[in-house]
Structure 1
Amino acid sequence: MNFLDYAIIVVYLVGLLFMGFLLKNQNDKQDYFLGGRTLGWKPLSLSIMATQLSAISFVSAPAFVGLREGGGLIWLSYELAVPIAMLLLLWKVLPRLYNAGVVSVYDYLEGRFNRSTRLLLSFVFQMSRSFATAIMIYAVSIILQGTIGLAYWQSILLIGCVTVVYSLQGGMKAVVYGDALQMVLIVLGTAACLGFALYHIGGVQIFLDGVDPARLQAVNFSSFGINGEGFGFWPMLFGGVVLYASYYGCDQSEAQRLLSAKNQHDLKKMVMAATFMRFPVTLLYCMSGLVIGTLVLTTPSLLAQIPADKPDWMMPIFIVNYMPNGVIGLLLVAILAAAMSSLSSAVNSLSAVSVEDYCRLKDAKLSNEQYLVAARYMGIFWGVVTLGLSFFAGNIAPTVIEAINKIGSLFYGPILAIFTLGLLIKRVNGTHASIGLVSGVFINVCVWQFAPNIFWFWWNLIGFLSTAGVGILTSFTFNLEAAKQDSDDTKALRSLSLRDASLMILWFIFIVAIAVTIPFVL
């Protein structure tokens, strides 16, 4: 690190603050939380990807592929379920939520069930999202410690203060435009790492000669994930469909962007774009990890700098040792950008849910000015909570990217099941749904604690089935209140054409084909 690197970082951070200042004028909650539904589908698509493919992916996915024991390109199996999940969302869930005109997706549940169901699910979201974001911040602290020597608390202040300030000033517009820029930076940074790694290892042929063949397997059809095995085709497919459908459709941090689309046509474009762009970016992450991991494993002096139990240090150590000045600064900007994308998205979505919950709970009618003040105060609150939780985020799984998905898998299945019951099962009311939600989360926690041989990706499907099953069963057992009827908007169901569905299915087949053939190509 030299003056040029630090100058690049400072200029970027000041630029973000300036952008937040330029976008600070909002008139109401639609402006602040949905960008007034004036944002184009292209920046919104990049924002969706930036929130998902964040600093966690930049740091920890390559570490899993290149260095973690038992890791490798099997990480690509995470992508198998994305097209199928997006297909299901476009068919039923997203058009209905969009047409409801809500700021918080949990508003829909209150209209369909009751207030207690809405508040319960909102609480589950707030706890899971704040802790998941804390894990992301922890990942970035690893990089800043390994590159510029910042203490952990200094990393927190740097990331937290700048992010909270610009996201509170500019609202959803600042979040989306910041995310779009950050997505571009993180992809370029990963490509730079891959190129320099190939150069320092001696070229493509030297890499191919030195790569561990065991790390080339990208799909495992023999593992069912029930005997202590992981990352098999079937748990990644069935568990993945539930995870991604819940994340993109029922998690406020992602769904809020979809609700910000100008119209249903743009909504469909956003989802299709995110679907088709995810796999190439993830493949880029994985290939950079494979090359850098091969360089590390064949260079004892470099391997010695990485703690044996902390493979996530691989990327920052590589950056410091092999990247030129100026490029180091740009890479750190990319990493900071990814962390800030995750934090700004979390702060904005948590604030949206909290203020809406408060208004419902107190039956408060806030003026536009009062609403925006409350939103900013809640943003500060959630920023502090998330940054505080990050101090406890380091001991859940061997890599932070596994930790964050593990936490999400406890809740994503039950959350998706509640929305599914609301959309499809008319007889289920709020009491049935609430009992199902609590039961589904409880069963997942029991599986975690008492059935460790079941791969955690199955928790998504287990939570979904148990929540839906208990909700339906209790609807036949007792009925304390009448179920509210949800109007069936047939126009919403036409947003997915046969052509769109065919493209999604073909993309799924393409991803599987690429994953299967990689070991033979390399």
Structure 2
Amino acid sequence: MSPLDWWVICGYLAGTLGLSAWFARRQTSAADYYVGGRSLPWWALAISILATQSSANSFIGIPAYVALVQGGGLTWLQYELMLPLAMIVVMVVLVPVLRGLGVISVYEYLERRFDRRTRVWLSVVFLLSRGLATGVALYAAALVVQVSTGLPLHWAIVLTGGITVIYDTMGGMRAVVWTDVAQMTVLLGGIVLCASIAWDMSGGGAAIIAAQDPARLAAIEWAHGVGDGARAPLWGFVAGGLVLYISYYGVDQSQAQRTLSAINVSGAQRALVLNGILRFPLTLAYAGLGLAIGAVALKHPALRDAVPANRLDLLVPRFIELYLPSGARGLLVAAILAAAMSSLDSALNSLSAATLRDFVEPRIGPAKALRAGRWVTLIWGLTIVGFALTVGGLASSVVEGINRIGALFYGPLLAAFACGILDRRARGPAVLAGVAVGLAINLLLASTLGANLFWMWWNITGLLVATVVTWVGSRLIAPPQPAQLLGTTLDAQALWRGVSQQKGLITLLLGWAVAMGGLALWLGVRQG
């Protein structure tokens, strides 16, 4: 890293903090702090959602998976196939209710629909799971920053986490969204710069394709993931991915907080549609970057020898270190920092929002909520940084399974909200029982079947079990009072009306889903 590289990095970080400080002057309430006063434009929210998905591990991990990992390749694109269909369900079923109620924490809905206990327990589940995942994610991101900058690991953790905590604590959701927009710009610039250099070094598109093992160019693994030991089975991603994305974008506070920040329901829906369209091209760009740098590694032994067999994720950082000129290296490291911080800021803001709204504000009142919110954000930030500093070797195994942890919870969590919105008989005690049994069944499957059941199927089993238990249990309890249901449920007529009102956006998403599936199918058949 040259002095020019460090000037580029420091300039980027200073700009991020300055932007956050400017937004901090406009806050007058907790709603300003956590949902931007519900005045954020839909396109910025869409880019913020997209930036949250583009973590440092994606920037580093996806190219390495595509280029080097045994059994890897373009099968990574299967992760994206169900996203447009999931966006349709979220925008038609979940957004009209959750955004329409004007909540800040999605778990507020559970108290309005059921009772306080249901809200508190599911919020606790979210805080524990998301807090652990965020600490591990910070550790993993810092490993990438360490390799890219040469800083000691603990300083990489403090730099990445500390800057994020400062601007998130000061600026709240407005700072998160607008810095995400800036970070996405830096990230895309880094991808383009890195890919253009790799393109020239490898000899162009034809040379890149010719250098690949044909199996890496197949985007589909024709398997289901039940007893076949498949690493990336198509049908596991199709079924489990649909549930995972509906739950993640619809009822996970870290993502749903963006749609709650939109000006109105229509704005929230448009943000989801744009994200549903842009995410596949971004993933495709990561995959293309992996193919290009992988071709460079085949032609240049220096790069190949710089990537140890047990750290294939060092492919992109080593390429940056060896082949990018001074200044450009700084831009790419800034892009890696941008990717890391854009994922951490949303998690931190959502943890703070759920903690304040579900536990703190009911005790102190709304007048003190803004100041308390900043303190809660700061406390969560310091906790996450502290955890990342101590997680050490534990993280290497946890990082590999972090997505599996989400799959344990997403099905039961979605069942709680779906039953509340679609089943007028659903009751709180039955919901809690359903979530507990669904999670227990998933844990049992994970411990007994292991590799014989692909982990994405846990999303399905958790959803089905929790829904059945909730449905049966609710019919053993007296039905809710009609006043309890106002604005919290949808009937068939309301659902049809929502589909009719958004038929243009739905048609766009369906067409995009067909195009994505067609491209993946063409690559799968062509190489198969």
1:416-495 mapped onto 2 (5 Å cutoff): 416-452=414-450, 453-476=452-475, 478-479=476-477, 482=480, 484-487=484-487, 488=489, 494-495=497-498
Question: Matches of 2:397 and 2:46 in 1, distance apart?
Answer: 31
Partner AA of 2:354 in structure 1: V
Deviates more, 1:344-353 or 1:494-503: 494-503
Deviates more, 1:149-158 or 1:135-144: 135-144
Shift in Å at residue 293 of structure 1? 2.3
Partner AA of 2:65 in structure 1: F
Partner AA of 1:509 in structure 2: V
Tell me which residue corresponds to 1:411: 409
Question: Matches of 1:12 and 1:183 in 2, distance apart?
Answer: 13
Question: Matches of 2:275 and 2:178 in 1, distance apart?
Answer: 16
Partner AA of 2:426 in structure 1: V
Question: Matches of 1:316 and 1:149 in 2, distance apart?
Answer: 11
Question: Matches of 1:65 and 1:72 in 2, distance apart?
Answer: 4
Superimposed CA distance per residue, residues 450-477 of structure 1 (whole angstroms, 9 cap, x where no aligned partner): 111211111111111111122122224x
1:493-512 mapped onto 2 (5 Å cutoff): 494-496=497-499, 497-512=502-517
Q: 1:297 to 1:330 in 2, by over 3 A?
A: same
Conserved 8 A contact 1:112-1:485:
yes
Tell me the C-alpha RMSD between the 2 structures: 2.1
Partner AA of 2:432 in structure 1: S
Deviates more, 1:287-296 or 1:330-339: 287-296
Question: Matches of 1:130 and 1:314 in 2, distance apart?
Answer: 29
Shift in Å at residue 399 of structure 1? 10
Tell me which residue corresponds to 1:366: 365
Superimposed CA distance per residue, residues 163-198 of structure 1 (whole angstroms, 9 cap, x where no aligned partner): 111111111110100001111111221122221112
Question: Matches of 2:248 and 2:85 in 1, distance apart?
Answer: 13
Q: Which runs of 5+ in 1 are unaligned?
A: none
Conserved 8 A contact 1:396-1:403:
no
Shift in Å at residue 269 of structure 1? 1.4
Question: Matches of 1:76 and 1:398 in 2, distance apart?
Answer: 24
Partner AA of 2:474 in structure 1: S
Shift in Å at residue 226 of structure 1? 3.4
Tell me which residue corresponds to 1:135: 136
Deviates more, 1:383-392 or 1:21-30: 383-392
Aligned: 1:377 with 2:378: no
Conserved 8 A contact 2:85-2:513:
yes
Partner AA of 1:462 in structure 2: T
Question: Matches of 1:322 and 1:253 in 2, distance apart?
Answer: 37
Partner AA of 1:378 in structure 2: V
Shift in Å at residue 301 of structure 1? 3.4
Question: Matches of 1:322 and 1:486 in 2, distance apart?
Answer: 61
TM-score (normalised: structure 1): 0.94
SS in 2 for 1:304: helix
Shift in Å at residue 495 of structure 1? 4.4
Shift in Å at residue 289 of structure 1? 1.1
Tell me which residue corresponds to 1:515: 520
Q: 1:397 to 1:85 in 2, by over 3 A?
A: farther
Partner AA of 1:52 in structure 2: Q
Shift in Å at residue 306 of structure 1? 1.9
Question: Matches of 2:458 and 2:518 in 1, distance apart?
Answer: 26
Aligned: 1:347 with 2:348: yes
Question: Matches of 1:61 and 1:480 in 2, distance apart?
Answer: 51
Aligned: 1:74 with 2:87: no
Shift in Å at residue 208 of structure 1? 2.0
Q: 1:486 to 1:435 in 2, by over 3 A?
A: farther
Conserved 8 A contact 1:440-1:467:
yes
Tell me which residue corresponds to 2:216: 215
Question: Matches of 1:67 and 1:138 in 2, distance apart?
Answer: 23
Shift in Å at residue 500 of structure 1? 2.2
Number of positions where the alignment pairs a residue of Structure 1 with one of Structure 2 = 517
Aligned: 1:116 with 2:117: yes
Conserved 8 A contact 1:431-1:480:
no
Question: Matches of 2:30 and 2:496 in 1, distance apart?
Answer: 27
1:87-166 mapped onto 2 (5 Å cutoff): 87-166=88-167
SS in 1 for 2:404: helix
Superimposed CA distance per residue, residues 191-226 of structure 1 (whole angstroms, 9 cap, x where no aligned partner): 222211121222223222211111111112334443
Tell me which residue corresponds to 1:12: 12
Question: Matches of 1:367 and 1:172 in 2, distance apart?
Answer: 18
Question: Matches of 1:76 and 1:367 in 2, distance apart?
Answer: 45
Q: 1:303 to 1:395 in 2, by over 3 A?
A: farther
Question: Matches of 2:283 and 2:498 in 1, distance apart?
Answer: 28
Q: Which runs of 5+ in 2 are unaligned?
A: none
Conserved 8 A contact 2:21-2:171:
yes
Conserved 8 A contact 1:20-1:169:
yes
Conserved 8 A contact 1:84-1:241:
yes
Shift in Å at residue 367 of structure 1? 3.9
Shift in Å at residue 486 of structure 1? 4.6
Partner AA of 2:414 in structure 1: L
Conserved 8 A contact 1:397-1:403:
no
Tell me which residue corresponds to 1:180: 181
Identity %: 39
Question: Matches of 1:94 and 1:485 in 2, distance apart?
Answer: 17
Q: 1:448 to 1:392 in 2, by over 3 A?
A: farther
SS in 1 for 2:326: coil
Superimposed CA distance per residue, residues 298-355 of structure 1 (whole angstroms, 9 cap, x where no aligned partner): 5443223223222221111111112111111011111111111111111111101001
